[in-house]
Amino acid sequence: MSKSVKLKELIKSMSFKQVSGDEESLEREIFVAEINRPGFELAGFFKHTDFRRIILFGEKEIAFVREMSKESQLACFSKLANDETPCIIIAKGYECPEILKNIAVKRNFPIFETMQATGRVSIDLTGTLDEALAPETLIHGVFLNIYGKGVVIRGDSGIGKSEIALELIKRGHLLIADDAIELYHIGQNIVGRAPEVLRNLLEIRGIGVIDVSKMFGVASILPKDNVDLIIQLDRWLPSREYTRIGVEEDDVTEEILSIQIPKIVVPVTGGRSMSAIIEAAVMNMQLKDSGFDSSKEFVNRILDNIKSKS
């Protein structure tokens, strides 16, 4: 089933003045994040109109309405203010046209007015709806912000993910989620956060659940972040070949909600400082993002050395 958000939830944080519709009208559900600026509709063209979108009137729309005859307004507004349309918002301090208001009152249709600029209203609504209606999934792992990058640490149960997370938090990095991570596809990014019941909590085997915000301070947690890197912890197998130089294979990615996320597989064995290795992996990623690849630099040095000797 498609995700939806009720109109009353959407307008909670908005500085809108309601000019028609009662509390029942605010129970309307919104299924799409796009906003409709009804230029073609005001001209009488409704063939491809998606009535599930919020309708936004700005300066141009109001100016066009003032040029319309009463008959044209009546015909147009009767189609716009229907049961499928979530609401109509009139921006930039303009008043609702009288004919539209009369139709809305008769149909218990919600109309709002706001002093905000049309563009600002459109951006705020689209951003809020994008987040509320974003495709989502749930994965297991630990999610931290390390050196400004959102890093998901995954691995088999009991491999030590939470213990590594605790060490990284002690080193000054930020916890976002432990055990379960809610992931959302917003714009071109995957955004992760903790389920409400697990927020700020970290489970350490043998100790139990600890509240990171109370133990290390509120500066040690982050409510959400973009997912920039996945680190997969695998138990060490002597028979398996692991990346050593860094040019053995093409870049590995993992697809989450149709977005490819860079992925690194790190073997876990006794005597390795996993927190330091993860920090190094993130810093190496930042170097690559800035255009410097240590592995390629190493290969170039070898080639230059061979060339000079020959």
Domain ranges of the chain: 5-132, 136-298
Q: How confident is the model at residue 97 (pLDDT cuts 50, 70, 90)?
A: very high
- In the annotated binding site, the residues are 155-162, 203
Choose the catalytic residue: 173, 178, 179, 228: 179
Residue 91 has pLDDT above 60, yes or no: yes
Give the per-residue pLDDT at 293: 65
How many residues would you count in the chain?
A: 310
Give the Cα separation of 25 and 8 in Å (integer): 9
Task: Tell me whether residue 179 is one of the annotated catalytic residues.
Answer: yes
The most confident of 23-37, 244-258, 259-273, 277-291, by mean pLDDT: 23-37
CA 220 → CA 144, 172, 201, 223, 231, distances in Å?
A: 10, 7, 11, 10, 21
Cβ count near 103 (within 10 Å): 20
Which residues are 268's β-sheet partners? 235
Give the per-residue pLDDT at 26: 95
* The domains spanning 5-132 and 136-298 adopt the same CATH topology: no
Residue 181's Cβ-count burial label (10 Å; 0-12, 13-18, 19+) is buried
User: pLDDT digits over 173-210, tens only?
Assistant: 999 999 999 999 998 899 999 999 999 999 998 889 99
Give the Cα separation of 175 and 141 in Å (integer): 12
Choose the catalytic residue: 140, 170, 214, 296: 140
Give the per-residue pLDDT at 310: 66
Give the per-residue pLDDT at 13: 82
- In the annotated binding site for ATP, the residues are 155-162
Give the per-residue pLDDT at 2: 72
Choose the catalytic residue: 161, 173, 178, 228: 161
When pLDDT is averaged across residues 256-275 and rounded to a whole number, the result is 87
Give the per-residue pLDDT at 301: 72
Give the per-residue pLDDT at 194: 96
Question: What is the chain's mean pLDDT, rounded?
Answer: 90
Structure token digits, residue 178: 């432990």
Looking only at the bridges linking them, the beta strands covering 54-57 and 88-90 are parallel
Residue 113 has pLDDT above 80, yes or no: yes
Is 151 in contact with 64 (CB distance < 8 Å)? no
Give the Cα separation of 251 and 253 in Å (integer): 7
When pLDDT is averaged across residues 260-283 and rounded to a whole number, the result is 87
Phi, psi at residue 36, to the nearest 5°?
-105, 115
Q: How confident is the model at residue 67 (pLDDT cuts 50, 70, 90)?
A: very high
Looking at domain 136-298, does it have CATH number 3.40.50.300? Answer: yes
Is 219 in contact with 208 (CB distance < 8 Å)? no
Residue 299 has pLDDT above 70, yes or no: no
The most confident of 69-83, 201-215, 236-250, 284-298, by mean pLDDT: 69-83
When pLDDT is averaged across residues 56-72 and rounded to a whole number, the result is 96
Q: pTM for this structure?
A: 0.74
**Percent of the residues in the chain that have a pLDDT greater than 90, as a whole number:** 72
Give the per-residue pLDDT at 250: 56
Give the per-residue pLDDT at 176: 97
**Percent of the residues in the chain that have a pLDDT greater than 70, as a whole number:** 91
Cβ count near 130 (within 10 Å): 15
Angle at alpha carbon of residue 244, lines to 139 and 267, rounded to 5°:
35
Task: Tell me whether residue 140 is one of the annotated catalytic residues.
Answer: yes
Q: What is the largest CA-CA distance in the chain?
A: 91
User: pLDDT digits over 16-44, tens only?
Assistant: 999 999 999 999 999 999 999 999 999 99
Give the per-residue pLDDT at 235: 85
User: pLDDT digits over 132-142, tens only?
Assistant: 899 999 999 99
Residues in contact with 1: Cβ distance below 8 Å, sequence separation at least 6, in sequence order: none
Q: What DSSP character marks residue 117?
A: -
Give the per-residue pLDDT at 101: 96
Give the Cα separation of 6 and 27 in Å (integer): 6
Give the per-residue pLDDT at 308: 77
> Mapped to the 3 state alphabet, what secondary structure does 136-166 carry?
EEEEEEEEEEECCEEEEEEECCCCCHHHHHH
Give the per-residue pLDDT at 269: 80
CATH topology for 5-132?
3.40.1390
Q: Which of 222, 215, 234, 261 is nearest to 143 (CA)?
A: 222
- In the annotated binding site for Mg(2+), the residues are 162, 203
Which single residue is written with the structure tokens 């240590």? 294
Q: How confident is the model at residue 298 (pLDDT cuts 50, 70, 90)?
A: low
